[in-house]
Amino acid sequence: MEEEKKIEDHSEENSYIRIKKFKFIMLIFLLVFSTAGITLAALSFGDEKAATVAIQERKEFSKLYEAFDMLDEKYFEKVDHKKLIDGAISGMVKALDDPYSDYMTKEENEKFQESIAASFQGIGAEIQEQNGDIVVVSPIKGSPAEKAGIKPNDKIITVDDKNIQGMTANEAVLLIRGEKGTNVTLGIQRPENPEMIKMTITRDDIPINTVYAEMLDNGVAKIQITTFSKHTYDDLAVALKEMQSKGMKSLIVDLRRNPGGLLDQAIEIANLFVPEGKNIVQVEYRDGTVEKTVAQSGKKIDVPTVVLIDKGSASASEILAGAVSETSNIPLIGEKSFGKGTVQTANDFNDGSNVKYTMAKWLTPNGNWIHKKGIEPNYKVSLPEYANVSYIDPDKKLHESSASNDVKSAEEMLNALGYKPGKIDGFYDSETEKAVKEFQNAEKLKKDGILTGETTIKLMNKLSEHIQKNDPQVKKAIEVLTKSKK
């Protein structure tokens, strides 16, 4: 009754304004509380019969309403109510300080879904937000990102000269992805090099193959799984059959630079190695409830096996690596994995916006949580230093008397390939020029001693081939398999 008296004390126009404002506030209640599981009775206004409003009082929201009213009434320009609400929800999600939780407005969600539909075109790199930075988890095998020299743990500082620090991973993805044939220039910073590197990458079709098999010497089959997508298990089954037909006696499963993907695919593949009845993975919820996924009967791989992992092996890769290591004594070789031990889900709102959040954590068969820790390999083997040499922009011209980090990278590459560039100090002297000419001569390129364009691209490609051919992690895997047969 007190509220009715207050309304009567004002003019008809002011009464209308107050009722309209009350309706809007109730709309906010509906938007906020409907997602929190609070029941609201229907409202009616004007000539309609009023309904009883049953609202559970939430004192912690009074500050939110006060801030909204203050901005709505006193900000020097008219505010957009929708933007304020979107900003409030986005702020709540960001306050979780979880790189795997994110909020997208209707417009952002629509753009993101469009980019997912066209995700087979772009640069091909898995990224995530870490402490305000956009960090590469891993490039996809055969993608433009991998060919350009993008590496795990690279920080992307700029996209086409726009600083993206502070952006969410989804916001960054929308800037980086694009149509085949278009270019994007990334400003990259590496842990070992504070100087930002500019990389211009031509977007292309992203390889959809996720399984690559080859037969090495002495019946050793090597199968690389680059990500876990819809058809990965089926593709692996085909690859295994092919390797068996070629006399497979032992197996290397390569999960290096595999950023993860679909959980069900990782579980199906793990079932090939984990004995029936043993845990593959456990999922633990906030109330302490644990769901266990147990290996079923069926086809099992019975040849000696090892698994390769590195800092780019994340999420579903770690589920597979942890499962086979703890249940089947399959050795892990390489470097400590990335360390993502959480499970996400997404919720769509009626207005088309979307929130993704972490809803559980996953544990290894023995109950270990590897989040932010990673999985340690049984045999720690690092790639040689030259495998981490920085990318060189092919558009730059490096010649005698040049001095830069790019020159140092070139010297390290030449030295790794057996050429002699002299002192590796970042200064392009006569010995460096001589080494470049020798390289150009060997590759049938223009012999001018200048490092640019085709010469630069060829040099980086040759180094990549050299790393693969002389891969110490694969060599260690073969050594371990050889010993296991004796």
Catalytic residue numbers?
315, 326, 340
Contact residues for 221 (Cβ-Cβ < 8 A; gap 6+): 213, 214, 215, 243, 246, 248, 250, 251, 252
Nearest to 342 by CA among 365, 320, 312, 363: 363
Chain center to CA of 478: 30
Place of tokens 């306050």: 95
d(CA 22, CA 20): 5
> Tokens standing for 290?
């644990």
DSSP character string of 145-195: HHHHT--TT-EEEEETTEE-TT--HHHHHHHH---TT-EEEEEEEETTEEE
d(CA 63, CA 400): 65
Strands 193-202 and 211-215: unpaired
**Residue 248 identity:** M
How far is residue 127 from each of residues 99, 134, 151, 279, 465, measured CA to CA in Å? 10, 7, 11, 30, 25
CA angle 103, 107, 112 (to 5 degrees): 70
**Residue 190 identity:** R
d(CA 159, CA 441): 36
> Tokens standing for 95?
């306050």
**Residue 104 identity:** M
